[in-house]
Amino acid sequence: MEPQELISKLQELKQIKPRQEWVVLTKINMFGPITITAKEHVNPRTAWSFANVLGLFYQRKLAYAFTAFLFIFVGIFTFLHYGLPQKKNVKVASQSISAADLAIENTLKNNVKDFKMKSQNLAQVAQSKSPGKSPVVSLAIKEVKDAAKNLTDTIQKNPQLAKTIALDVNNNKTLLDIPGGTDAGGLKQVSDDLYKTLVQQLIKDEQGMTLTSDQKMVLDNVVSLDKQGKDSDALVNLVLLVHSTDSNNGSTSVQH
């Protein structure tokens, strides 16, 4: 027999292998305590004592499972904590919008307050009989005009707020009836612009609402007055109409 043949025959002996059941059984017998304990009937109350829980970590599979659990837990925690930038942004954005609305409304309130105060001032100055009042009246008129322009601009930029100041502007009208001129220093023109802006915006608002037949008739009349350039009269009717429609809808306009 050649040496190579002999060696190959020797290597055939690698086929000798132990029985798989015996291999497993021997291993269980050798490292048995954990496995046997796991198979025993254990009182559920004592099954999860600290020592038992600690003992479980000696098993490799549980260690892997624990690692996987930690991975998922950390992932979820990280996601919940840092992973929702859009939601956060939406919240911040909504807060910013609310803050912006509040700022505009405050500006408008200040403008209305300023307009009313200056109108009262003009009325007082115009009614006084002191000599040389003309420059003071002119100055007062200029101040009212500026206030009216500011108010007009604010309404044009924020038409949704027109309704909140309509009543105030309407009530202020009498203060602007200055004796002694049809258009004192261009004040009439400026106040007409303010009325027109307000009236047109309020007409749009009312047209978008559900109106009764009576209310529709009032609105048609307002539109007609607006077309005729009688915005001061139109505003009076509109204030009444707005009050009426708001009552129907269960809300009231903002009172200043």
Closest separation in Å from C-beta 46 to another protein: 23
Describe the crossing of helices 187-207 and 213-227 by its angle, rounded to 10 degrees.
Answer: 150
Closest separation in Å from C-beta 101 to another protein: 44
* Nearest CB to another protein, comparing residues 81 and 227: 81
* Nearest CB to another protein, comparing residues 32 and 181: 32
* Token duo for residue 33: 């305590």
* Nearest CB to another protein, comparing residues 34 and 90: 34
Closest separation in Å from C-beta 63 to another protein: 5
Closest separation in Å from C-beta 42 to another protein: 20
Closest separation in Å from C-beta 12 to another protein: 6
Binding positions for another protein, rule: CB under 8 A: 1, 3, 6-7, 9-19, 22-23, 26-27, 29-31, 57-58, 60, 63, 66-67, 70-71, 74
- What's the CA gap between 34 and 150, in Å, rounded? 85
Please report where in the chains the tokens 């220093």 appear, as a residue.
Answer: 185
* Nearest CB to another protein, comparing residues 79 and 256: 79
What residues have CB less than 8 Å from 166, skipping those under 6 apart? Answer: 198, 202, 235, 238, 239, 242, 253
Q: Within the chain, where are the H helices? A: 3-11, 20-30, 32-39, 44-47, 50-56, 60-82, 85-127, 134-157, 162-172, 187-207, 213-227, 231-248
Q: Angle at the Cα of 56 (from 54 to 60), degrees rounded to 5?
A: 120
Phi first, then psi, for residue 247 (nearest 5°) are -65, -40
* Nearest CB to another protein, comparing residues 74 and 90: 74
Please report where in the chains the tokens 């007009």 appear, as a residue.
Answer: 152
Closest separation in Å from C-beta 45 to another protein: 27
* Nearest CB to another protein, comparing residues 56 and 236: 56
Whether residue 62 contacts residue 56, with contact meaning beta carbons closer than 8 Å, is answered with yes
